[in-house]
Structure 1
Amino acid sequence: MSEIITAVYSNGVLHPQSHLSLEDGQTVRIQVLTEETASEAEQVIQSLVAALLVTPPPHRGDVEPVSEEAWRELTQRLEASGGKPLSEIIIEERGPM
């Protein structure tokens, strides 16, 4: 699971500004972007969208979470692929162009 949150750094500790869906003691990786860096990244994304080079990223509320059933089905399909890279599976499912 990947999640972008806002946190405040105080006395050597990051304090999340919203609830995190983590288990107690769970290890996570953190990439720190200051508000200035995040703003610069947003400007780059907006420029790429305006140039029609990328589609805009979905907003948090726009994307439905994957259901348990869909997750299981995808897991089974990936396991049945025999370790084939996901890119190859997608190309095969698309069929001839």
Structure 2
Amino acid sequence: MSEVITAVYEKGVLRPLHPLNLREQQTVYLQVLPGEPVDEAAEAIQILVAAGLMTPPKKGTPPPNSVSEEERAKLAEILGKIPGKPLSEIIIEDRGEW
């Protein structure tokens, strides 16, 4: 069983923030990750990193360049001319009746 557990280190002991489904005296292996999540999004990212599903950016990596409003409008105009149904309509049809 592999599970990500959030715990707080206090007075030399790791205290889980939620109850654990473990037997008494069960041995577990820990991986300590740097930093502490400040919100649910940060905690989700930390879980994805621990599971190997995401690689955090290296320190000092500049953020990606944002697209200007002009470029965004131009792209929206080009994509709006593509024939066929909008993606939103396809998704709604695929979901079916609620």
Determine which structure has the larger helix proportion and give its number: 1
TM-score range, shorter chain: 0.3 to 0.5
Q: TM-score, normalised by structure 2?
A: 0.37
Structure with max Cα Rg: 2
